[in-house]
Structure 1
Protein backbone atom coordinates (compact mmCIF):
# COMPACT_ATOMS: atom_id res chain seq x y z
CA UNK A 1 0.00 0.00 0.00
CA UNK A 2 1.35 3.47 -0.85
CA UNK A 3 1.94 5.77 2.14
CA UNK A 4 -0.79 8.30 2.91
CA UNK A 5 0.09 11.86 4.01
CA UNK A 6 -2.20 14.69 5.03
CA UNK A 7 -2.16 18.45 5.50
CA UNK A 8 -4.79 19.55 8.01
CA UNK A 9 -5.14 23.33 8.51
CA UNK A 10 -7.88 25.14 10.44
CA UNK A 11 -9.79 27.81 8.49
CA UNK A 12 -9.53 30.38 11.29
CA UNK A 13 -7.14 32.69 9.46
CA UNK A 14 -4.93 32.96 6.39
CA UNK A 15 -1.96 30.66 5.81
CA UNK A 16 1.58 31.83 6.53
CA UNK A 17 5.07 30.57 5.72
CA UNK A 18 4.92 27.93 8.45
CA UNK A 19 1.84 26.40 6.88
CA UNK A 20 3.49 26.60 3.46
CA UNK A 21 6.52 24.67 4.74
CA UNK A 22 4.39 21.91 6.26
CA UNK A 23 2.15 21.61 3.21
CA UNK A 24 5.09 21.57 0.78
CA UNK A 25 6.96 19.03 2.89
CA UNK A 26 3.95 16.71 2.94
CA UNK A 27 3.50 17.15 -0.79
CA UNK A 28 7.19 16.51 -1.53
CA UNK A 29 7.29 13.38 0.63
CA UNK A 30 4.11 12.00 -0.92
CA UNK A 31 5.46 12.54 -4.42
CA UNK A 32 8.91 11.11 -3.64
CA UNK A 33 7.45 7.97 -2.05
CA UNK A 34 4.73 7.40 -4.63
CA UNK A 35 2.18 8.09 -1.91
CA UNK A 36 -1.08 9.99 -1.60
CA UNK A 37 -1.72 13.47 -0.17
CA UNK A 38 -5.01 14.28 1.57
CA UNK A 39 -6.34 17.68 2.63
CA UNK A 40 -8.40 17.89 5.81
CA UNK A 41 -10.17 21.01 7.05
CA UNK A 42 -10.21 21.11 10.86
CA UNK A 43 -13.22 23.34 11.34
CA UNK A 44 -14.67 22.17 14.66
CA UNK A 45 -14.36 25.66 16.21
CA UNK A 46 -17.43 27.23 14.62
CA UNK A 47 -16.83 30.57 16.37
CA UNK A 48 -13.53 31.18 14.57
CA UNK A 49 -13.65 29.15 11.35
CA UNK A 50 -14.99 30.93 8.27
CA UNK A 51 -15.79 29.96 4.69
CA UNK A 52 -13.55 32.66 3.23
CA UNK A 53 -10.54 31.31 5.13
CA UNK A 54 -11.24 27.82 3.78
CA UNK A 55 -11.39 29.11 0.21
CA UNK A 56 -8.15 31.01 0.81
CA UNK A 57 -6.50 27.73 1.90
CA UNK A 58 -7.51 26.12 -1.41
CA UNK A 59 -6.25 29.14 -3.37
CA UNK A 60 -2.90 29.34 -1.58
CA UNK A 61 -2.18 25.61 -1.85
CA UNK A 62 -3.06 25.57 -5.56
CA UNK A 63 -0.79 28.59 -6.12
CA UNK A 64 2.05 26.69 -4.43
CA UNK A 65 1.52 23.86 -6.93
CA UNK A 66 0.17 21.39 -4.38
CA UNK A 67 -2.43 18.84 -5.52
CA UNK A 68 -4.57 16.81 -3.13
CA UNK A 69 -7.12 14.06 -3.42
CA UNK A 70 -10.85 14.70 -3.36
CA UNK A 71 -13.06 14.81 -1.45
CA UNK A 72 -11.73 17.10 1.25
CA UNK A 73 -12.70 15.92 4.74
CA UNK A 74 -14.30 18.62 6.90
CA UNK A 75 -14.47 17.73 10.57
CA UNK A 76 -17.76 19.58 11.03
CA UNK A 77 -19.38 17.03 8.69
CA UNK A 78 -18.28 14.02 10.75
CA UNK A 79 -19.39 14.71 14.33
CA UNK A 80 -20.93 11.26 14.60
CA UNK A 81 -17.44 9.71 14.26
CA UNK A 82 -16.21 11.62 17.30
CA UNK A 83 -19.35 10.86 19.30
CA UNK A 84 -18.83 7.15 18.62
CA UNK A 85 -15.26 7.36 19.92
CA UNK A 86 -16.41 9.21 23.05
CA UNK A 87 -19.13 6.62 23.63
CA UNK A 88 -16.57 3.82 23.48
CA UNK A 89 -14.31 5.53 26.01
CA UNK A 90 -17.28 6.28 28.25
CA UNK A 91 -18.46 2.67 28.11
CA UNK A 92 -15.05 1.64 29.40
CA UNK A 93 -15.28 4.05 32.33
CA UNK A 94 -12.51 6.33 31.08
CA UNK A 95 -14.42 9.63 30.89
CA UNK A 96 -15.93 11.93 33.50
CA UNK A 97 -17.63 15.34 33.27
CA UNK A 98 -16.16 18.42 34.92
CA UNK A 99 -18.19 21.55 35.51
CA UNK A 100 -15.79 24.35 36.43
CA UNK A 101 -15.57 27.37 34.17
CA UNK A 102 -12.18 28.54 32.92
CA UNK A 103 -12.29 31.33 35.51
CA UNK A 104 -13.00 28.85 38.30
CA UNK A 105 -10.13 26.63 37.20
CA UNK A 106 -7.79 29.64 37.19
CA UNK A 107 -8.92 30.46 40.74
CA UNK A 108 -8.33 26.89 41.90
CA UNK A 109 -4.86 26.88 40.38
CA UNK A 110 -4.04 30.19 42.09
CA UNK A 111 -5.17 28.77 45.43
CA UNK A 112 -2.97 25.73 45.04
CA UNK A 113 0.01 27.73 43.87
CA UNK A 114 -0.17 29.73 47.09
CA UNK A 115 1.22 26.58 48.70
CA UNK A 116 3.83 25.90 46.02
CA UNK A 117 4.20 25.28 42.28
CA UNK A 118 1.27 23.55 40.61
CA UNK A 119 2.16 21.01 37.88
CA UNK A 120 1.77 22.03 34.25
CA UNK A 121 1.51 20.11 31.02
CA UNK A 122 4.21 20.17 28.31
CA UNK A 123 2.53 23.21 26.73
CA UNK A 124 2.74 25.10 30.02
CA UNK A 125 -0.96 24.97 30.94
CA UNK A 126 -1.80 24.00 34.54
CA UNK A 127 -3.10 20.48 35.06
CA UNK A 128 -6.75 20.15 36.00
CA UNK A 129 -7.05 21.09 39.71
CA UNK A 130 -10.71 20.21 40.30
CA UNK A 131 -12.45 17.33 42.04
CA UNK A 132 -15.06 16.43 39.42
CA UNK A 133 -13.78 12.87 39.19
CA UNK A 134 -14.98 12.28 42.75
CA UNK A 135 -18.57 13.38 42.07
CA UNK A 136 -21.16 10.64 42.45
CA UNK A 137 -23.26 9.61 39.43
CA UNK A 138 -26.26 11.36 41.05
CA UNK A 139 -24.29 14.58 41.47
CA UNK A 140 -23.09 14.42 37.88
CA UNK A 141 -26.62 13.80 36.59
CA UNK A 142 -28.01 16.69 38.62
CA UNK A 143 -25.43 19.13 37.26
CA UNK A 144 -25.98 17.91 33.71
CA UNK A 145 -29.74 18.32 34.14
CA UNK A 146 -29.13 21.90 35.29
CA UNK A 147 -27.53 22.60 31.91
CA UNK A 148 -24.29 23.59 33.62
CA UNK A 149 -21.20 24.22 31.47
CA UNK A 150 -19.30 20.98 31.23
CA UNK A 151 -16.33 19.25 29.66
CA UNK A 152 -15.61 15.56 29.20
CA UNK A 153 -12.18 14.66 30.59
CA UNK A 154 -10.09 11.55 30.17
CA UNK A 155 -9.28 9.78 33.44
CA UNK A 156 -5.60 9.80 32.56
CA UNK A 157 -4.30 7.61 35.38
CA UNK A 158 -6.81 4.86 34.68
CA UNK A 159 -6.30 5.16 30.92
CA UNK A 160 -2.53 4.82 31.23
CA UNK A 161 -2.86 1.70 33.36
CA UNK A 162 -5.26 0.25 30.81
CA UNK A 163 -2.98 1.04 27.85
CA UNK A 164 0.35 0.03 29.36
CA UNK A 165 3.70 1.14 27.96
CA UNK A 166 3.43 3.29 24.84
CA UNK A 167 5.87 4.61 22.25
CA UNK A 168 5.88 5.90 18.69
CA UNK A 169 8.23 5.85 15.70
CA UNK A 170 9.74 9.28 15.06
CA UNK A 171 11.46 9.97 11.74
CA UNK A 172 11.71 13.75 11.98
CA UNK A 173 13.52 16.18 14.23
CA UNK A 174 11.45 15.34 17.30
CA UNK A 175 11.20 17.62 20.31
CA UNK A 176 14.90 17.58 21.20
CA UNK A 177 16.14 15.92 18.06
CA UNK A 178 14.74 12.55 19.13
CA UNK A 179 14.36 9.93 16.42
CA UNK A 180 13.63 6.21 16.37
CA UNK A 181 11.31 4.75 18.96
CA UNK A 182 10.23 7.47 21.42
CA UNK A 183 8.59 6.73 24.77
CA UNK A 184 5.14 8.28 25.19
CA UNK A 185 4.41 9.88 28.57
CA UNK A 186 0.74 10.92 28.46
CA UNK A 187 0.50 11.25 32.26
CA UNK A 188 2.32 14.56 31.91
CA UNK A 189 -0.81 16.01 30.30
CA UNK A 190 -3.19 15.29 33.18
CA UNK A 191 -6.91 14.72 32.61
CA UNK A 192 -7.16 16.25 29.14
CA UNK A 193 -10.47 17.50 27.78
CA UNK A 194 -11.83 15.39 24.91
CA UNK A 195 -15.06 17.36 24.34
CA UNK A 196 -16.95 20.35 25.66
CA UNK A 197 -20.65 20.97 25.86
CA UNK A 198 -20.38 23.60 23.12
CA UNK A 199 -17.66 21.77 21.12
CA UNK A 200 -18.34 18.06 20.48
CA UNK A 201 -14.70 17.04 20.17
CA UNK A 202 -11.18 18.19 20.93
CA UNK A 203 -8.14 18.36 18.70
CA UNK A 204 -6.62 15.33 20.46
CA UNK A 205 -9.65 13.14 19.82
CA UNK A 206 -10.56 14.28 16.32
CA UNK A 207 -7.05 14.06 14.95
CA UNK A 208 -6.58 10.39 15.88
CA UNK A 209 -10.07 9.45 14.67
CA UNK A 210 -9.60 11.31 11.39
CA UNK A 211 -6.15 9.86 10.72
CA UNK A 212 -7.45 6.33 11.31
CA UNK A 213 -10.58 6.73 9.18
CA UNK A 214 -8.60 8.31 6.34
CA UNK A 215 -5.88 5.67 6.45
CA UNK A 216 -3.13 8.19 7.17
CA UNK A 217 0.14 6.29 7.60
CA UNK A 218 2.61 9.21 7.79
CA UNK A 219 1.86 12.19 10.07
CA UNK A 220 4.15 15.08 9.12
CA UNK A 221 3.62 18.15 11.32
CA UNK A 222 5.45 20.79 13.37
CA UNK A 223 7.64 20.24 16.39
CA UNK A 224 5.11 22.12 18.52
CA UNK A 225 2.95 18.97 18.43
CA UNK A 226 5.74 16.54 19.31
CA UNK A 227 4.79 16.22 23.00
CA UNK A 228 1.07 15.93 22.19
CA UNK A 229 1.84 12.71 20.31
CA UNK A 230 1.88 10.98 23.72
CA UNK A 231 -1.84 11.73 24.13
CA UNK A 232 -2.53 10.65 20.57
CA UNK A 233 -0.77 7.33 21.03
CA UNK A 234 -2.78 6.73 24.20
CA UNK A 235 -6.08 7.39 22.44
CA UNK A 236 -5.07 5.18 19.52
CA UNK A 237 -4.36 2.34 21.93
CA UNK A 238 -7.61 2.82 23.87
CA UNK A 239 -9.71 3.01 20.69
CA UNK A 240 -7.94 0.19 18.84
CA UNK A 241 -6.70 2.51 16.08
CA UNK A 242 -3.58 1.96 13.96
CA UNK A 243 -0.33 3.75 14.83
CA UNK A 244 1.07 5.94 12.04
CA UNK A 245 4.71 6.95 11.65
CA UNK A 246 5.41 10.49 12.87
CA UNK A 247 7.76 13.10 11.46
CA UNK A 248 7.87 16.37 13.43
CA UNK A 249 9.58 19.10 11.44
CA UNK A 250 11.23 22.36 12.43
CA UNK A 251 9.11 25.46 12.85
CA UNK A 252 9.43 28.54 10.67
CA UNK A 253 9.98 31.50 12.99
CA UNK A 254 9.94 35.28 12.68
CA UNK A 255 13.15 37.37 13.04
CA UNK A 256 12.60 37.51 16.81
CA UNK A 257 12.52 33.72 16.99
CA UNK A 258 8.78 33.46 17.69
CA UNK A 259 6.51 30.83 16.15
CA UNK A 260 4.51 32.34 13.29
CA UNK A 261 0.88 33.29 13.89
CA UNK A 262 -1.94 33.70 11.38
CA UNK A 263 -2.10 37.38 12.32
CA UNK A 264 1.49 37.88 11.09
CA UNK A 265 1.07 39.82 7.85
CA UNK A 266 4.79 39.91 7.06
CA UNK A 267 4.82 36.14 6.56
CA UNK A 268 1.28 35.64 5.23
CA UNK A 269 1.10 33.91 1.86
CA UNK A 270 -1.53 36.34 0.58
CA UNK A 271 0.72 39.30 1.38
CA UNK A 272 3.79 37.65 -0.12
CA UNK A 273 1.86 36.79 -3.28
CA UNK A 274 0.64 40.40 -3.53
CA UNK A 275 4.25 41.57 -3.17
CA UNK A 276 5.15 39.62 -6.32
CA UNK A 277 6.80 36.53 -4.86
CA UNK A 278 6.54 33.27 -6.78
CA UNK A 279 6.08 29.72 -5.47
CA UNK A 280 9.80 29.08 -6.03
CA UNK A 281 10.55 32.06 -3.80
CA UNK A 282 8.38 30.58 -1.05
CA UNK A 283 10.28 27.30 -1.25
CA UNK A 284 13.56 29.16 -0.83
CA UNK A 285 12.21 31.22 2.10
CA UNK A 286 11.27 28.05 4.01
CA UNK A 287 14.49 26.23 3.13
CA UNK A 288 13.25 23.75 0.53
CA UNK A 289 15.10 23.13 -2.73
Structure 2
Protein backbone atom coordinates (compact mmCIF):
# COMPACT_ATOMS: atom_id res chain seq x y z
CA UNK A 1 0.00 0.00 0.00
CA UNK A 2 1.50 3.32 -1.02
CA UNK A 3 1.45 6.20 1.51
CA UNK A 4 -0.38 8.39 -0.99
CA UNK A 5 -3.21 5.89 -1.46
CA UNK A 6 -4.19 4.89 2.07
CA UNK A 7 -7.81 4.31 1.19
CA UNK A 8 -10.18 1.40 1.40
CA UNK A 9 -13.55 1.36 -0.33
CA UNK A 10 -16.46 0.01 1.69
CA UNK A 11 -16.66 -3.70 1.06
CA UNK A 12 -18.75 -6.54 2.34
CA UNK A 13 -18.60 -6.65 6.15
CA UNK A 14 -15.05 -7.07 7.44
CA UNK A 15 -14.48 -7.16 11.18
CA UNK A 16 -11.59 -8.12 13.41
CA UNK A 17 -10.39 -9.13 16.84
CA UNK A 18 -7.02 -7.66 17.79
CA UNK A 19 -5.56 -8.97 21.06
CA UNK A 20 -2.17 -8.01 22.43
CA UNK A 21 0.08 -11.01 23.24
CA UNK A 22 0.72 -9.91 26.82
CA UNK A 23 -0.93 -12.92 28.42
CA UNK A 24 -3.72 -15.48 28.02
CA UNK A 25 -7.30 -14.56 27.13
CA UNK A 26 -9.56 -13.86 30.12
CA UNK A 27 -13.35 -13.50 30.26
CA UNK A 28 -13.26 -9.83 29.26
CA UNK A 29 -11.23 -10.55 26.15
CA UNK A 30 -13.49 -13.52 25.36
CA UNK A 31 -16.48 -11.15 25.35
CA UNK A 32 -14.70 -8.90 22.84
CA UNK A 33 -13.73 -11.86 20.65
CA UNK A 34 -17.20 -13.44 20.74
CA UNK A 35 -19.02 -10.12 20.24
CA UNK A 36 -16.92 -9.19 17.21
CA UNK A 37 -17.20 -12.71 15.75
CA UNK A 38 -20.97 -12.99 16.20
CA UNK A 39 -21.58 -9.58 14.65
CA UNK A 40 -19.39 -10.44 11.66
CA UNK A 41 -21.00 -13.82 11.06
CA UNK A 42 -24.56 -12.61 11.73
CA UNK A 43 -23.90 -10.13 8.91
CA UNK A 44 -22.37 -12.87 6.71
CA UNK A 45 -19.03 -11.09 6.85
CA UNK A 46 -15.36 -11.90 7.34
CA UNK A 47 -13.74 -12.09 10.78
CA UNK A 48 -10.01 -11.43 10.97
CA UNK A 49 -7.50 -11.83 13.79
CA UNK A 50 -4.65 -9.38 14.22
CA UNK A 51 -1.96 -9.79 16.88
CA UNK A 52 -1.21 -6.31 18.20
CA UNK A 53 2.39 -6.86 19.25
CA UNK A 54 3.66 -3.39 18.32
CA UNK A 55 4.59 -2.65 21.94
CA UNK A 56 7.32 -5.25 22.18
CA UNK A 57 8.03 -4.31 25.82
CA UNK A 58 4.73 -5.94 26.83
CA UNK A 59 4.91 -9.08 24.69
CA UNK A 60 5.10 -12.40 26.54
CA UNK A 61 6.78 -15.27 24.71
CA UNK A 62 4.33 -17.74 23.12
CA UNK A 63 1.29 -15.74 24.30
CA UNK A 64 0.21 -15.34 20.67
CA UNK A 65 0.15 -19.10 20.16
CA UNK A 66 -1.83 -19.57 23.37
CA UNK A 67 -4.35 -16.91 22.28
CA UNK A 68 -4.85 -18.51 18.87
CA UNK A 69 -5.24 -21.97 20.41
CA UNK A 70 -7.82 -20.57 22.82
CA UNK A 71 -9.83 -18.96 20.02
CA UNK A 72 -9.95 -22.30 18.19
CA UNK A 73 -11.04 -24.08 21.37
CA UNK A 74 -14.05 -21.74 21.41
CA UNK A 75 -14.82 -22.33 17.70
CA UNK A 76 -13.70 -18.80 16.87
CA UNK A 77 -12.14 -19.45 13.46
CA UNK A 78 -10.60 -16.60 11.48
CA UNK A 79 -11.13 -16.20 7.74
CA UNK A 80 -7.74 -14.93 6.58
CA UNK A 81 -4.11 -15.37 7.69
CA UNK A 82 -3.31 -13.86 11.08
CA UNK A 83 -1.52 -10.51 10.83
CA UNK A 84 1.25 -9.45 13.23
CA UNK A 85 2.01 -5.76 13.61
CA UNK A 86 5.73 -6.38 14.05
CA UNK A 87 5.79 -7.77 10.50
CA UNK A 88 4.39 -4.50 9.12
CA UNK A 89 6.95 -1.93 10.28
CA UNK A 90 7.82 -0.89 6.73
CA UNK A 91 4.17 -0.04 6.08
CA UNK A 92 3.96 2.11 9.20
CA UNK A 93 7.17 3.94 8.34
CA UNK A 94 5.86 4.69 4.85
CA UNK A 95 2.85 6.42 6.41
CA UNK A 96 5.03 8.39 8.82
CA UNK A 97 7.32 9.44 5.96
CA UNK A 98 4.31 10.60 3.95
CA UNK A 99 3.04 12.68 6.87
CA UNK A 100 6.52 14.11 7.37
CA UNK A 101 6.63 15.20 3.73
CA UNK A 102 3.33 16.99 4.29
CA UNK A 103 4.93 18.77 7.29
CA UNK A 104 2.30 17.35 9.60
CA UNK A 105 4.74 15.69 12.00
CA UNK A 106 7.22 17.25 14.42
CA UNK A 107 9.65 16.11 17.10
CA UNK A 108 8.70 16.28 20.77
CA UNK A 109 10.96 15.82 23.81
CA UNK A 110 8.32 16.36 26.51
CA UNK A 111 8.20 13.65 29.15
CA UNK A 112 5.04 12.07 30.55
CA UNK A 113 5.85 13.68 33.88
CA UNK A 114 6.00 17.14 32.30
CA UNK A 115 2.71 16.63 30.46
CA UNK A 116 1.03 15.28 33.60
CA UNK A 117 2.16 18.38 35.52
CA UNK A 118 0.36 20.52 32.92
CA UNK A 119 -2.92 18.69 33.37
CA UNK A 120 -2.27 15.51 31.43
CA UNK A 121 -2.88 16.91 27.95
CA UNK A 122 -0.01 17.94 25.69
CA UNK A 123 -0.14 21.69 25.04
CA UNK A 124 1.97 21.95 21.84
CA UNK A 125 5.17 23.01 23.63
CA UNK A 126 7.54 21.49 21.05
CA UNK A 127 5.65 22.45 17.93
CA UNK A 128 7.83 25.45 17.08
CA UNK A 129 11.14 24.19 18.49
CA UNK A 130 12.34 22.27 15.40
CA UNK A 131 13.51 19.32 17.46
CA UNK A 132 15.55 16.70 15.62
CA UNK A 133 13.23 14.07 14.18
CA UNK A 134 15.70 11.21 14.58
CA UNK A 135 16.08 11.51 18.36
CA UNK A 136 12.60 12.68 19.38
CA UNK A 137 9.14 11.27 19.75
CA UNK A 138 6.94 12.21 16.79
CA UNK A 139 3.65 14.03 17.11
CA UNK A 140 1.01 14.48 14.42
CA UNK A 141 -0.51 17.92 13.98
CA UNK A 142 -4.23 17.47 14.66
CA UNK A 143 -6.10 18.65 11.57
CA UNK A 144 -9.44 16.87 11.97
CA UNK A 145 -10.31 17.01 15.67
CA UNK A 146 -13.38 14.92 16.47
CA UNK A 147 -15.33 15.65 19.64
CA UNK A 148 -18.45 13.62 18.82
CA UNK A 149 -19.32 10.38 17.07
CA UNK A 150 -22.09 7.81 17.05
CA UNK A 151 -21.50 4.37 18.51
CA UNK A 152 -23.74 1.50 17.42
CA UNK A 153 -24.12 0.29 21.02
CA UNK A 154 -23.34 3.21 23.32
CA UNK A 155 -25.10 5.87 21.23
CA UNK A 156 -23.91 9.46 20.78
CA UNK A 157 -20.46 9.97 22.32
CA UNK A 158 -18.88 13.29 23.29
CA UNK A 159 -15.19 13.34 24.22
CA UNK A 160 -13.00 15.87 26.00
CA UNK A 161 -12.50 18.82 23.63
CA UNK A 162 -8.92 19.52 24.72
CA UNK A 163 -7.98 15.86 24.27
CA UNK A 164 -9.61 15.76 20.84
CA UNK A 165 -7.48 18.71 19.69
CA UNK A 166 -4.23 17.34 21.13
CA UNK A 167 -1.30 16.67 18.79
CA UNK A 168 -0.77 13.02 19.69
CA UNK A 169 2.19 10.67 19.40
CA UNK A 170 2.53 8.47 16.35
CA UNK A 171 6.05 7.23 17.12
CA UNK A 172 7.73 6.97 20.48
CA UNK A 173 11.20 8.22 21.33
CA UNK A 174 12.36 4.59 21.68
CA UNK A 175 11.49 4.03 18.01
CA UNK A 176 8.30 2.05 18.57
CA UNK A 177 5.26 3.11 16.53
CA UNK A 178 2.32 4.29 18.62
CA UNK A 179 -0.88 2.27 18.89
CA UNK A 180 -3.00 5.18 17.63
CA UNK A 181 -1.15 5.14 14.31
CA UNK A 182 -0.81 1.44 13.67
CA UNK A 183 -4.37 0.43 14.56
CA UNK A 184 -5.75 2.85 11.97
CA UNK A 185 -3.24 1.91 9.29
CA UNK A 186 -3.99 -1.77 9.91
CA UNK A 187 -7.76 -1.27 9.70
CA UNK A 188 -7.36 0.65 6.44
CA UNK A 189 -5.01 -1.89 4.87
CA UNK A 190 -7.23 -4.81 5.91
CA UNK A 191 -10.41 -3.12 4.72
CA UNK A 192 -12.08 -3.25 8.15
CA UNK A 193 -15.45 -1.50 7.97
CA UNK A 194 -16.91 -2.33 11.40
CA UNK A 195 -14.95 -2.38 14.65
CA UNK A 196 -16.57 -4.21 17.57
CA UNK A 197 -14.48 -3.97 20.74
CA UNK A 198 -14.54 -3.05 24.42
CA UNK A 199 -15.83 0.24 25.81
CA UNK A 200 -12.42 1.07 27.30
CA UNK A 201 -11.48 2.21 23.78
CA UNK A 202 -14.34 4.68 23.32
CA UNK A 203 -12.24 7.78 23.98
CA UNK A 204 -9.37 6.81 21.60
CA UNK A 205 -11.98 6.20 18.88
CA UNK A 206 -12.44 9.94 18.31
CA UNK A 207 -8.71 10.30 17.71
CA UNK A 208 -8.69 7.30 15.39
CA UNK A 209 -11.59 8.71 13.36
CA UNK A 210 -9.58 11.90 12.93
CA UNK A 211 -6.66 9.88 11.57
CA UNK A 212 -8.89 8.03 9.11
CA UNK A 213 -9.86 11.48 7.83
CA UNK A 214 -6.24 12.63 7.76
CA UNK A 215 -5.35 9.61 5.61
CA UNK A 216 -8.35 10.14 3.31
CA UNK A 217 -9.74 6.72 4.23
CA UNK A 218 -13.24 5.34 4.73
CA UNK A 219 -14.21 5.44 8.42
CA UNK A 220 -15.47 2.16 9.89
CA UNK A 221 -18.58 1.88 12.00
CA UNK A 222 -17.80 1.47 15.69
CA UNK A 223 -19.61 -0.61 18.30
CA UNK A 224 -18.22 -0.65 21.82
CA UNK A 225 -19.26 -3.58 23.98
CA UNK A 226 -19.71 -3.18 27.75
CA UNK A 227 -16.57 -3.89 29.74
CA UNK A 228 -16.48 -6.84 32.12
CA UNK A 229 -15.40 -5.36 35.46
CA UNK A 230 -14.65 -6.90 38.85
CA UNK A 231 -15.98 -3.71 40.45
CA UNK A 232 -17.00 -0.32 39.01
CA UNK A 233 -14.09 1.19 37.10
CA UNK A 234 -11.84 -1.87 37.60
CA UNK A 235 -11.88 -3.85 34.36
CA UNK A 236 -10.72 -7.40 33.94
CA UNK A 237 -7.32 -7.30 32.29
CA UNK A 238 -4.07 -9.19 31.97
CA UNK A 239 -2.36 -6.43 33.97
CA UNK A 240 -4.87 -7.02 36.78
CA UNK A 241 -4.19 -10.77 36.70
CA UNK A 242 -7.63 -11.77 35.47
CA UNK A 243 -7.76 -15.59 35.33
CA UNK A 244 -7.33 -17.28 31.97
CA UNK A 245 -10.39 -18.91 30.43
CA UNK A 246 -10.40 -22.68 30.06
CA UNK A 247 -9.39 -24.28 26.75
CA UNK A 248 -10.31 -27.79 27.90
CA UNK A 249 -13.87 -26.92 29.04
CA UNK A 250 -14.94 -23.89 26.99
CA UNK A 251 -18.74 -24.25 27.05
CA UNK A 252 -19.48 -22.61 30.43
CA UNK A 253 -17.44 -19.49 29.65
CA UNK A 254 -18.85 -19.26 26.12
CA UNK A 255 -22.43 -19.48 27.37
CA UNK A 256 -21.60 -16.83 29.98
CA UNK A 257 -20.22 -14.61 27.20
CA UNK A 258 -23.48 -15.09 25.27
CA UNK A 259 -25.46 -14.09 28.36
CA UNK A 260 -23.20 -11.07 28.90
CA UNK A 261 -23.97 -9.95 25.32
CA UNK A 262 -27.71 -10.19 25.89
CA UNK A 263 -28.47 -13.50 24.17
CA UNK A 264 -31.40 -15.51 25.59
CA UNK A 265 -29.40 -18.45 26.96
CA UNK A 266 -31.04 -21.57 28.39
CA UNK A 267 -29.98 -24.77 30.14
CA UNK A 268 -30.22 -26.97 27.02
CA UNK A 269 -27.30 -25.12 25.43
CA UNK A 270 -24.91 -27.25 27.52
CA UNK A 271 -26.03 -30.27 25.46
CA UNK A 272 -24.62 -28.74 22.26
CA UNK A 273 -21.09 -29.13 20.94
CA UNK A 274 -18.89 -26.04 20.93
CA UNK A 275 -19.42 -25.64 17.16
CA UNK A 276 -23.18 -26.01 17.57
CA UNK A 277 -23.09 -23.46 20.38
CA UNK A 278 -21.32 -20.94 18.21
CA UNK A 279 -23.74 -21.56 15.33
CA UNK A 280 -26.63 -20.93 17.76
CA UNK A 281 -24.95 -17.72 18.83
CA UNK A 282 -24.58 -16.51 15.25
CA UNK A 283 -28.24 -17.25 14.51
CA UNK A 284 -29.42 -15.53 17.70
CA UNK A 285 -27.13 -12.51 17.99
CA UNK A 286 -28.02 -8.89 17.29
CA UNK A 287 -26.23 -5.71 18.35
CA UNK A 288 -29.65 -4.46 19.51
CA UNK A 289 -29.60 -7.07 22.29
CA UNK A 290 -26.28 -5.91 23.76
CA UNK A 291 -26.81 -3.95 27.01
CA UNK A 292 -26.26 -0.25 26.32
CA UNK A 293 -24.04 0.35 29.33
CA UNK A 294 -20.26 0.91 29.50
CA UNK A 295 -19.65 -1.67 32.24
CA UNK A 296 -21.10 -4.91 33.54
CA UNK A 297 -19.88 -6.16 36.88
CA UNK A 298 -19.23 -9.88 37.05
CA UNK A 299 -18.78 -12.28 39.92
CA UNK A 300 -17.85 -15.94 39.71
CA UNK A 301 -18.93 -18.58 42.21
CA UNK A 302 -15.74 -19.79 43.97
CA UNK A 303 -16.50 -23.50 43.46
CA UNK A 304 -18.09 -23.43 39.99
CA UNK A 305 -17.78 -21.74 36.62
CA UNK A 306 -21.11 -19.91 37.03
CA UNK A 307 -20.74 -16.17 36.36
CA UNK A 308 -23.29 -13.61 37.54
CA UNK A 309 -23.74 -10.14 36.07
CA UNK A 310 -24.74 -6.71 37.39
CA UNK A 311 -25.36 -3.96 34.82
CA UNK A 312 -23.78 -0.62 35.76
CA UNK A 313 -25.56 2.47 34.46
CA UNK A 314 -23.82 5.24 32.53
Name the TM-score class by shorter chain.
0.7 to 0.9
Give CA-to-partner distance per residue, 1:196-237, whole Å, 9 cap, x none. Answer: 132341111111110011011110011111111111111111
Note the C-alpha offset of 1:70: 2.7
Note the C-alpha offset of 1:50: 3.2
**Which residue does 1:279 correspond to in 2?**
251
Q: Decide which moves more: 126-135 or 63-72.
A: 126-135
1:133 equivalent among 127, 130, 155: 127
Cα distance, 1:87–1:31 mapped onto 2, change above 3 Å: same
TM-score (normalizing by structure 1):
0.77
Where structure 2 has 5 or more consecutive residues not aligned to the other structure, the ranges are 1-10, 264-314
Structure 2 residue 184 is the aligned partner of structure 1 residue 211: no
TM-score (normalizing by structure 2):
0.72
Map 1:1-289 to 2 at 5 A.
1-100=11-110, 102=111, 105-107=112-114, 109-110=116-117, 118-119=118-119, 126-129=120-123, 131-136=125-130, 140-141=131-132, 144=134, 148=135, 150-156=136-142, 159-160=143-144, 168-173=149-154, 178-179=155-156, 187-189=162-164, 190-255=166-231, 258-265=234-241, 267-269=243-245, 272-273=246-247, 277-284=249-256, 287-288=260-261, 289=263
Note the C-alpha offset of 1:79: 0.9
CA distance in 2, matches of 1:5, 1:205: 18
Note the C-alpha offset of 1:265: 4.7
Give CA-to-partner distance per residue, 1:51-70, whole Å, 9 cap, x none. Answer: 41001101111111101023
CA distance in 1, matches of 2:231, 2:186: 35
CA distance in 1, matches of 2:81, 2:234: 35
CA distance in 2, matches of 1:238, 1:107: 28
Cα distance, 1:264–1:59 mapped onto 2, change above 3 Å: farther
Cα distance, 1:33–1:133 mapped onto 2, change above 3 Å: same
CA distance in 2, matches of 1:263, 1:211: 25
Conservation of the 8 A alpha-carbon contact between 2:21 and 2:52: yes
Give CA-to-partner distance per residue, 1:178-200, whole Å, 9 cap, x none. Answer: 24xx5677742422111013234
More helix per residue: 1
> How many pairs align?
250
Cα distance, 1:273–1:228 mapped onto 2, change above 3 Å: same
Where structure 1 has 5 or more consecutive residues not aligned to the other structure, the ranges are 111-117, 120-125
Note the C-alpha offset of 1:256: 6.1
Note the C-alpha offset of 1:107: 4.4
CA distance in 1, matches of 2:89, 2:140: 19
**Which residue does 2:280 correspond to in 1?**
none
Conservation of the 8 A alpha-carbon contact between 2:74 and 2:247: no
CA distance in 1, matches of 2:161, 2:183: 16
Cα distance, 1:191–1:65 mapped onto 2, change above 3 Å: same
Conservation of the 8 A alpha-carbon contact between 1:11 and 1:43: yes
Note the C-alpha offset of 1:88: 2.1
Cα distance, 1:221–1:199 mapped onto 2, change above 3 Å: farther
RMSD value, Cα: 2.5
